[in-house]
Amino acid sequence: MSTWLVKEMRELLAPFITLLFNRSLVTGCFQSEFKQAIVRPLLKKIGLDASDLKNYRPVSNLSFLSKLMERVAKRRLQAFLDSNELMSSQQSAYRQHHSTEMAVLKVYNDLLMAADSGLVSALCLLDLTAAFDDSTPSIMIYFFSDLSGSSVYGVSHCSGSGLT
């Protein structure tokens, strides 16, 4: 469904989209149509050799409704984590009013406080920008599923739409 059509008909479509999203969240099934994406190659960094396929990463463009569903799920999950105090106060990623700059300032402040107290500190930094470049997705899915004991997607693989 095209974005302009959903926006144009939002008042008419809103109850149906709400029902679809709520049913999806309750049943744990995600419409197979929402999983389809247009995948395009994107150069990892400006200046890399454009003729070398290793310098590209796949970028998936999902449908408008899929992105909307993702936003709804994120907000619900974030509200649950916040209301049950399940997320560390030090967690910066994926949180409003938190940033990597805040995380760096926290580390910097901790190092200064330790130095002021006469303590010796060591900081180990890892560059993970290319960590998963050569990873096979199926191996990563198996690895993370094995670690958590459940589906890596958090959504069951439903036969059919699962939302009838």
Angle at 82 between CA 81 and CA 84, to 5 degrees: 70
Mean pLDDT for the chain overall: 80
Per-residue pLDDT of 45-96, as tens digits, reads: 899 998 988 888 888 888 888 999 999 998 998 889 889 988 887 787 777 7
Is the predicted pLDDT of residue 41 greater than 70, yes or no?
yes
With 0-12 / 13-18 / 19 or more C-beta atoms within 10 angstroms meaning exposed / middle / buried, residue 126 is: exposed
Of 160, 112, 154, 159, nearest to 28 by C-alpha is 154
Is the predicted pLDDT of residue 42 greater than 70, yes or no?
yes
Q: Tell me the pTM.
A: 0.60
